[in-house]
Amino acid sequence: MLKQIHRISDNVFFKSIFLIVIFWNLKYFFLPLQVPFTLIAKDFIWNNSFYSTVTLVREAASKITDFQDEGQIGFVSDVPQGNIFDQTESIRDFYTVQYAVVPSILKNDKEHNFVVADFEKELDLPVGYTVQGKINKKLYILKKEDN
């Protein structure tokens, strides 16, 4: 006596696989609905150090007359000048300030009327400069004193 094996049709097989895939990915279904609520609950711009620093530099620069008239602005740091592009933090700070002062060019020296100073440890002003504005706890705008 031969037993007949019950055969599952292709249609039922593919529908069951499809449902398994759908239920497996159902956890991602509500993800797009969560995005607007996370944007309301948290201020991403001010929690992002890049955008907050750029905004603070631009606000401080807008209060100083003739800041961007020179076309070139100096940059000094408590990191030695030869090593400023060797350390990740100092590279990030340099290019963040460069982005904020566009269209002016940021130069890694102090031979300009205005200088943005980045001091992690303590404020150590270069000779002949005064603080024109404080951007945040480590960034300052300096101006060359008139002789």
**Rg of the chain on CA atoms, in Å:** 29
Q: Whole-model pTM?
A: 0.64
Contact between 96 and 50 (Cβ < 8 Å) = yes
Nearby residues of 113 by Cβ (< 8 Å), 6 or more positions away: 66, 70, 143, 144
Distances in Å between the Cα of 66 and the Cα atoms of 45, 60, 63, 71 are 28, 12, 10, 10
Task: Look at residue 48 in the predicted model and tell me its pLDDT.
Answer: 76
Phi/psi for 121 (5° steps) reads: -90, -70
Q: Tens digit of pLDDT for each residue in 96-146?
A: 999 999 888 998 888 888 999 988 877 778 888 898 888 888 899 999 887
Q: Where are the domains of the chain?
A: 68-144
Q: In sequence order, what E strands does the chain have?
A: 72-77, 105-107, 114-118, 129-134, 139-144
Q: What percent of the chain has pLDDT over 90?
A: 8
Which of 116, 12, 125, 124 lies closest to 60, judged by CA?
116
Neighbours of 78 (CB within 10 A): 15
